[in-house]
């Protein structure tokens, strides 16, 4: 059951924050929703945004400036949290890139993380909750994200193209098996068997798809002044995987832009309109 925590008028619509008891996580979880004006009595396209390391369900809604175009385009925006909160796992707050705020959108199988760190299942659970409780069209659901959330968006879309009909990303961790962030998270949550890692790596999933799962295209934006680009992100690996299977990809590289929300807010309108076109 959804518990409404707060709501705020915004560009003629309403910005809401909710809490519910998550069966996937086994704890209460929060998420945010922007409902555009005129949502009552309709079924509107809905766009899920997955945030990056250290972020919460509030970050995108506060920093990205996405509500104005969402109101114009008639898009529902949904943002989950990035990990369980209050799970009580020893050491879960010791590092900013693993544990609290860093669930990596995987279902952990290693103890003690496996009891609550099940963010992959949580996103799918939240999708069903939103479709049941909000005026969202189940045939027009898209997903996008940033950094760790860009990884999550690409991976979830590639694994579930029937559930997410469009996908884009800002500076995604595009090949997590190859980078320190991904190796730390996958090793801690999934164990040492790298065969299990491949199911959560967008580059590996794309290369192994044998087809173009999103014929209308994928949009990725990457800042060239991003300090994490060379070591952590590997957009060129995802680009090559798309090329190998004929997947249309627009990978835009932007001189001067870094990894943060100044970058995201500059190009977020393009992403919302990209999804609106693809979702219809």
226 is catalytic: yes
CA distance 159 to 109: 18
Q: What single-letter DSSP state applies at residue 215?
A: T
147 is an active site residue: yes
Q: 181-194 as b/e, with b when 16 or more CB fall inside 10 Å? A: bbebbbebbbeeee
d(CA 166, CA 156): 11
Q: Which one of the listed residues 116, 122, 259, 275 is annotated catalytic?
A: 259
| Candidates 83, 147, 166, 168; catalytic one | 147
- Sheet harboring 136-146: ordered strands across? 3-10, 13-22, 27-35, 76-80, 44-50, 136-146, 166-170, 218-223, 249-254
Active-site residue, from 22, 122, 226, 271: 226
Residue that has been written with the tokens 């939103």 in this structure:
130
Of 108, 185, 118, 141, which is closest to residue 279 (Cα–Cα)? Answer: 141
Strands 27-35 and 76-80: antiparallel
Annotated catalytic sites, by residue?
A: 147, 226, 259
């Amino acid at each position: 059951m959804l518990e409404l925590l707060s709501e705020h008028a915004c560009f003629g619509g309403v910005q809401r924050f909710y809490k519910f008891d998550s069966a996937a996580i086994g704890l209460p979880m929060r998420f945010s929703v922007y409902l555009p004006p005129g949502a009552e009595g309709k079924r509107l396209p809905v766009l899920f945004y997955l945030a990056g390391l250290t972020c919460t369900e509030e970050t995108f809604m506060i920093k990205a400036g996405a509500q104005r175009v969402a109101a114009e385009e008639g898009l529902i925006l949904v943002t989950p949290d990035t990990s369980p909160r209050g799970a009580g796992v020893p050491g879960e707050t010791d590092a900013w890139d693993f544990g609290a705020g860093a669930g990596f959108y995987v279902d952990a199988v290693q103890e003690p993380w496996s009891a609550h760190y099940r963010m992959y299942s949580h996103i799918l659970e939240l999708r069903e909750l939103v479709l049941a409780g909000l005026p969202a069209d189940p045939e027009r659901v898209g997903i996008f994200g940033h950094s760790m959330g860009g990884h999550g968006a690409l991976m979830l879309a590639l694994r579930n193209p029937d559930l997410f009909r469009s996908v884009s990303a800002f500076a995604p961790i595009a090949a997590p098996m190859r980078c320190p962030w991904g190796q730390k998270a996958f090793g801690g949550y999934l164990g040492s068997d790298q065969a299990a890692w491949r199911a959560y790596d967008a580059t590996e999933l794309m290369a192994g798809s044998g087809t173009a799962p999103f014929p209308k295209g994928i949009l990725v934006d990457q800042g060239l002044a991003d300090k994490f680009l060379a070591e952590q992100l590997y957009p060129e690996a995802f680009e090559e995987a798309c090329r190998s299977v004929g997947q249309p990809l627009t990978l835009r590289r932007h001189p001067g832009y870094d990894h943060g929300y100044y970058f995201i807010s500059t190009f977020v309108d393009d992403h919302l309109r990209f999804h609106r076109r693809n979702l219809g």
